[in-house]
Structure 1
């Protein structure tokens, strides 16, 4: 059986019996354990000098292969082009795009260097699965090195409309690099349509829907396939985590502090794409328009820090601290704090238990590839007394979770109305919505996502080595 080689920017820290990892990490790790294989990527270490060396760690049938980055490479590849250029552009924030030609050169250089580190570890029949926007040029670099293996790519974030992608100066080079993969996976059908629109209208290529449901793409002299693969979770495992933590200290503390008040719960990385400021203002609008809710409900926002060395993230933290302070100053009473804004990380089991203890899940990103928090919130609910999910239409999860209250995150009044509806929704309606969403989550869990992608990657054609590689081999 062929080995599976997973390539991602970071290698998820997974240990048997340790804290529960996220759905993506669990799904990928399960596949590796079944087939045997390797997980390759950056270790998270940033080195001041020297020559980074690969560290190999064997855990059963899985090899973890990690390598550090030099400070210049981290600044250009990760902080620079990946997160100051691609991240805002792919989340439709062209106003926040920062582009520096040297950072793009560093991004391309690091992808080529990482590919060169992987090549000696590959076997002829390995199947390679590359993940996310940090590694768009990775297959192109492998092809240039003569690698002919099947290579798939999955984009975890949105793929933007052509007119937004054009804001990134090397947009053509990026899409051409994507065409070096055999199979491209997107979270949703709209993301796939956006990519195909660029291929046809900007690259002069062609697309055609095949009988197997994949889209055949011809562009830049390459032929490949693409499809949509909405990533899932393991809902029953999350439900078990939530049940196990129901009597734990965090939930007991929450309930004792709230004295029977209802809870609106949000969990997001501290990121401008998550619509956090708009979310705070919609909760304020609820209190403003519905005085009966005052001192009857609290909004808990958990926002772990991320990319704290980027100015855009420093700015959003300051804005949230100001908003929460202003709203609490306006409405708080001696025995009631309207907004609990918590800037720290919690383990996944604790979050599942907190989801179960809350009445409303409040997930309203301005743009998101999928948003697994929405799926985890539903999974964690008490089947006999479930909460209500308020979900942005611009999260990929909205394509599947029809039982949620779908909102536009820019419509402050609309979100406030949805919160009011969620807080007063009768049990029968909550049960019907919950059961509908759980059926969907079970039908399309993370194993289904993984297996569909791997099955399709196994069916697509294997590339021939690139012309430069062939010339070197023959010379």
Structure 2
């Protein structure tokens, strides 16, 4: 078996006592890396005064990691800048929040080059390399330019924007063409792949045959491969003290009221303002529900040094305060808004105690919270998932109540329907979704992508690293 080298912006290797808090990517990669005696390479999350290229090696839980520290300028321009203030909003269709700056683009190119230079000595001829996400789009071309002909894959964890938005990015052709240096590119959904194909056909003169793109002598497989939940690990929380305690505390504090829950990173792509407005709409049009329900919104802060994230936090503080000020009584608070995270076992109990799960992003690559909510439910008395049609998860979880998050009325109607849905319908919908969550889990996702990466495609007899077309 070929060795796997995984490369991502951050390395999330397990620390002692932290296994229950690892993300799905960490779980999937750890299993694959252990099986191949591979290495996980990326940024440590730490800052250094001067970049040296020094690699810190560790082995934890059978997984070898190799990390580097970055300079303050690197972090500001590459991570806070181009990755999170340019690509993230652009890839989530928020051109209004997309910041275009030459310093950002320069830092992004510099750090990707530093990744390529630093990881290069670790790569052996038979290694397969799996690059992750929008932070590292140019890395594959960087490795090709350094002479590596290893099997090279890339997985995009976000949406891919329409070509009409992508062209707003300076040097968009060079950036997208660099992705076609990979042998396999993975997307969560057909929609994101179709958007990518539209761009490369229109702006790079690529030729498409089935799921293969032909461009400047290289054939790239465009794979739809939706990431799954680590269902086994997540559901192992069932019956644990932490899960039972969280479930009991929420039920007790609800005092017989039905709980509507949302769990989201504090991000403008999650549609949180729209969710609060829809809940306010519900309380206005259904006064009979007042004091019979409450909404618990868990929203851990993220990227607090980016202005747009500071704004969303202020907006939600204002909205939640307004709703509570208008509708609350001496023994009922309609919105419980919590700015902190919870361990997986506690989240399991919170999901299980909630009659309605709200997953209503304006645009999301996948959204594993939807799958967590389904996995946590009691099959004999499950809650109802209300899910945005603009989340990648809606393709697999189509038995949810699918809504338009831009419509307060649509969302309010779905919540109202979920609260009174008959038991048999709830069970039928939940069973259909649980089948998908269990079958297409995170290990299925990892195995499917690695199998595609291990299968070579014939290469055309043309230069492999030509620049993108000069088409306007």
What range describes the TM-score normalised by the shorter chain of this pair? over 0.9
Matches of 1:314 and 1:428 in 2, distance apart? 43
Q: What's the offset of the Cα at 1:462?
A: 8.2
Q: What's the offset of the Cα at 1:404?
A: 0.3
How big is each residue's C-alpha offset from its partner over 1:279-326, in whole Å with a ceiling of 9 and x where there is no partner?
000011111000111000010000011100000000000000000000
Matches of 1:328 and 1:291 in 2, distance apart? 14
Matches of 1:245 and 1:317 in 2, distance apart? 32
The answer for the alignment partner of 2:112 in structure 1 is 111
Q: How many residues align?
A: 464
**Residue ranges of structure 2 left out of the alignment (5+ in a row):** 466-472
The answer as to 2:446 corresponding to 1:450 is: yes
Matches of 2:6 and 2:50 in 1, distance apart? 27
Q: Which stretch of the first structure deviates more once superposed, 21-30 or 137-146?
A: 21-30
How big is each residue's C-alpha offset from its partner over 1:169-216, in whole Å with a ceiling of 9 and x where there is no partner?
22111111101111100110110000011111121111110xxxxx11
Q: What's the offset of the Cα at 1:243?
A: 3.6
Q: What's the offset of the Cα at 1:104?
A: 0.5
Q: Tell whether the 8 Å contact from 2:13 to 2:30 is kept in structure 1 after alignment.
A: no
Local SS of the residue matching 2:303? coil
Q: What's the offset of the Cα at 1:245?
A: 4.8
Select which of 428, 434, 454 maps to 2:430: 434
The answer for the alignment partner of 1:182 in structure 2 is 183
Q: Which stretch of the first structure deviates more once superposed, 363-372 or 101-110?
A: 101-110
The answer for the alignment partner of 1:148 in structure 2 is 149
Q: Tell whether the 8 Å contact from 2:231 to 2:441 is kept in structure 1 after alignment.
A: yes
Q: What's the offset of the Cα at 1:18?
A: 3.1
Aligned in 2, Cα 1:220/1:325: closer, same or farther, shift over 3 Å?
A: farther
Matches of 1:124 and 1:49 in 2, distance apart? 31
Local SS of the residue matching 2:237? helix
Aligned in 2, Cα 1:350/1:9: closer, same or farther, shift over 3 Å?
A: same
Aligned in 2, Cα 1:236/1:432: closer, same or farther, shift over 3 Å?
A: farther
Select which of 290, 293, 299 maps to 1:297: 293
Q: Tell whether the 8 Å contact from 2:51 to 2:69 is kept in structure 1 after alignment.
A: no
How big is each residue's C-alpha offset from its partner over 1:97-118, in whole Å with a ceiling of 9 and x where there is no partner?
1011121111011101111100
Local SS of the residue matching 1:241? coil
Q: How does the TM-score come out when normalised to structure 1?
A: 0.94
The answer for the alignment partner of 1:196 in structure 2 is 197
Aligned in 2, Cα 1:402/1:243: closer, same or farther, shift over 3 Å?
A: farther
Aligned in 2, Cα 1:94/1:239: closer, same or farther, shift over 3 Å?
A: same
The answer for the alignment partner of 2:250 in structure 1 is 254
Q: Map 1:313-352 onto structure 2 (within 5 A).
A: 313-352=309-348
The answer as to 2:262 corresponding to 1:266 is: yes
The answer for the alignment partner of 1:127 in structure 2 is 128
Matches of 2:233 and 2:411 in 1, distance apart? 30
Local SS of the residue matching 1:73? helix
Q: What's the offset of the Cα at 1:260?
A: 1.2
Aligned in 2, Cα 1:427/1:373: closer, same or farther, shift over 3 Å?
A: same
Q: What's the offset of the Cα at 1:461?
A: 3.7
The answer for the alignment partner of 1:159 in structure 2 is 160
Matches of 1:115 and 1:162 in 2, distance apart? 28
Q: How does the TM-score come out when normalised to structure 2?
A: 0.95
Local SS of the residue matching 2:451? helix
Matches of 1:205 and 1:245 in 2, distance apart? 55
Local SS of the residue matching 1:202? helix
Matches of 1:405 and 1:314 in 2, distance apart? 31
The answer as to 2:397 corresponding to 1:408 is: no
**Residue ranges of structure 1 left out of the alignment (5+ in a row):** 210-214, 470-475
Local SS of the residue matching 1:307? coil
Matches of 1:433 and 1:403 in 2, distance apart? 5
Q: What's the offset of the Cα at 1:16?
A: 6.1
**Deviation >6 Å, runs of 4+:** 466-469
Root mean square deviation of aligned Cα: 1.9
Matches of 1:97 and 1:144 in 2, distance apart? 29
Matches of 1:247 and 1:308 in 2, distance apart? 29
The answer for the alignment partner of 2:139 in structure 1 is 138
Local SS of the residue matching 2:399? coil
Q: Which stretch of the first structure deviates more once superposed, 195-204 or 276-285?
A: 195-204
Q: Tell whether the 8 Å contact from 2:6 to 2:130 is kept in structure 1 after alignment.
A: yes
Local SS of the residue matching 1:265? strand
The answer for the alignment partner of 1:38 in structure 2 is 39
Local SS of the residue matching 2:204? coil
Q: Tell whether the 8 Å contact from 1:364 to 1:392 is kept in structure 2 after alignment.
A: yes
Q: Tell whether the 8 Å contact from 2:13 to 2:60 is kept in structure 1 after alignment.
A: no
Matches of 1:319 and 1:268 in 2, distance apart? 15
